[in-house]
Amino acid sequence: MSNFPTRRAVLRGAAVVAALPLVGELSAGSALASSPAGHGRGAADLGANVLVFDPSMGDAAIQAQVDAVFNTQQSNQFGTERYALAFRPGSYNVDVNVGFYTHVLGLGDSPDDVVINGHVTVDAQWLQGNGTQDFWRCAENLCIVPPDGLDRWAVAQAGPMRRAHIKGDLSLWPSPPGNQWSSGGFLADSVVDGQVQSGSQQQWLSRNDSFGSWTGSNWNMVFVGTEGAPAQSFPDPPFTTVDETPTVREKPFLTVDAHGRYQVFVPALRSNSAGTSWAGGRAKGYSIPLDRFHVARPGDSAATLNQALDRGLHLLLTPGVYALSAPLRVTRTSTVVLGLGLATLQATHGNSLIEVADVGGVSVAGVILEAASADSPVLLRVGHGRSRARHADNPTVLFDVYARIGGAVAGGAAVSIQLDSNDVICDNLWLWRADHGNDGTVGWSVNPADTGFLVNGDRVTAYGLAVEHYQKYEVLWNGEHGRTYFFQNEHPYDVPTQSAWVHDGTNGYAAYKVADSVSDHLAWGLGSYCYFDLQADIYTDRAYEVPDTPGVVFTDLMIVCLNGVGGGGILHCINNTGGPVENGFGTYNMTGYSNGVGSD
């Protein structure tokens, strides 16, 4: 193997850790009993797995509960426990280690309202210093003041940090000892006063951030609307820098006032922006009192949740796993579906999980979509069939939405996310057909999945799109005027034979396919990697496949072969141009491709 490990190769050297029992310090409701949720309009009991902290509880008591959660969740990669650690406004002298399925959030109006005089850390010592599996965790709306001047956030996919203020430096790779690799990440609407150190990060997206400085590069570092970003220089070093973010709004977040009344704040849409939404004071937007939400608990059925939606309520999904035999149907404009603690929706009867009508302004945020049965046609869909309706003034946005096929439970889904509506924005998606997991949940016919991301609508924009291991086109884009800022991909590891992975005389499938009928599509900062681990000499003819027309332009794209032994690889980077990378470790970069012409 090369020095750039794949996830399954790493996992073979370490046992898959089973779910650990909840430690005694976290008896049900203990944190909420110490810090009441409040009273009056907007008060709520958020459940035993939302631990609400207040400075009056004392730092030692808070530290003990934070440590107890981490001890349970540090290596609990495919367990069912979920936690949100919520800090009321104030100052805390604690260190917060963030394990699997742990959501750390400040409850203030501004990140500086909750000050952690300590570290908020993701490291990888549970896997010998390798962070390529540090998935499913998040931190947001905090000010972090590390006493040694350095905070560490060594994540892979599904590990975003949002709306944070780091008063010091930020490291994006694990601490020694170990091989110290990390693989993918997303930082948005955040300020780092000092330097961001990318180290071994293989790829990264920063959107609407502000940095003192940045150092380090590897394969694919993308900056969109980020102040203090390095200048455009792909591939040496591989920095892709876009000065402004064309259109975006930030993820909704939970707040609490001095009387214990909760609201969800929905930030306003911004156009042609750089830097954070809160740089000039409180961000623009509006608050929704919590009494306009159904506060969902694991065990709520699809019927219960749909009754709440039909009454015009929003949904706040508290931490846990929700077994659903039918989809949640969102039919009202500007509905918010907000998950805490990586709330996980499981399709148990070959059903979809979320169906959003062709309406504007919907937010779906902070959820894992999981196939827990065979033959779901789609897990999440926005719209139903092509539409002429325009939603540019009030777009639907998907924030931190993750799909999982296999890994925790066996299951299959033809498509993970399908977008039929126009003007949808996607802000940090990871769509994953599992390459490792619990016994009996992974295999070519065990967790089948054709396509991760299917776009039929026009003017769809993706900031941070990661799609991995699907068995056909992993991204299939049929709509016009699509835009992607950062794409990360791995081809399926487990192709059994070349004959099992061919179509129309073509070896394999492109990871990112723009339909032949499309005349306008732009993408920046793309990486696609292969590692065929059955030593069966597997090839794919190309990583990216696009129509040769002037309006379809790919900027800063690359391919990597990680096969340390055996044959196989990617024969061309895009269409029939660029490459190959095969029969061992290798990379190939292109600065651009349009109308049949590529630039090295």
Left (φ > 0), alpha (ψ -120 to 50) or beta: where does 96 sit? beta
The gap between the terminal CA atoms of the chain, to the nearest Å, is 27
Q: What is the pLDDT of residue 5?
A: 58
84 half-sphere exposure, CB direction, 13 A CA radius: 28
Catalytic residue, chosen from 81, 490, 545, 582, is 490
Distance of alpha carbon 64 from alpha carbon 85, whole angstroms: 12
Beta bridge partners of 408: none
Strand 270-273 and strand 262-267: the pairing is unpaired
Q: How far is CA 66 from CA 62, 87, 102, 171, in A?
A: 6, 11, 10, 22
Q: Which two tokens stand for residue 220?
A: 């694919």
User: Are the C-beta atoms of residues 509 and 500 closer than 8 Å to each other?
Assistant: no
Which amino acid is it at 341? G
Q: How far is CA 485 from CA 220, 394, 430, in A?
A: 11, 20, 14
Distance of alpha carbon 112 from alpha carbon 501, whole angstroms: 52
Residues of the chain with pLDDT under 50: 1-3, 9-41
Residue among 143, 118, 20 nearest 73 (CA): 20
Distance of alpha carbon 561 from alpha carbon 580, whole angstroms: 9
Distance of alpha carbon 316 from alpha carbon 339, whole angstroms: 6
**Span 260-271, pLDDT tens digits:** 999 999 999 999
Q: What is the pLDDT of residue 333?
A: 98
Distance of alpha carbon 574 from alpha carbon 489, whole angstroms: 14
Q: What is the pLDDT of residue 4?
A: 52
Residue among 525, 511, 520 nearest 458 (CA): 520
Report residue 123 CA to chain centroid gap.
Answer: 18
- Does 582 participate in catalysis according to the annotation? no
Q: What is the pLDDT of residue 100?
A: 98
Q: What is the pLDDT of residue 563?
A: 83
Indicate if the alpha-carbon torsion angle 252, 253, 254, 259 is positive or negative: negative
Distance of alpha carbon 320 from alpha carbon 580, whole angstroms: 45
Distance of alpha carbon 15 from alpha carbon 315, whole angstroms: 37
Q: How far is CA 264 from CA 87, 285, 318, 339, in A?
A: 15, 11, 14, 12
Q: What is the pLDDT of residue 474?
A: 98
What stretches of 274-362 adopt beta strand conformation (E)? 285-289, 293-296, 314-317, 321-324, 328-330, 336-347, 354-356
Beta bridge partners of 578: none
Q: Which two tokens stand for residue 252?
A: 């909704």
Q: For residue 65, which phi and psi values (nearest 5 degrees)?
A: -75, -40
Q: What is the pLDDT of residue 11?
A: 38
User: Are the C-beta atoms of residues 581 and 557 closer than 8 Å to each other?
Assistant: no
Full-model pTM: 0.95
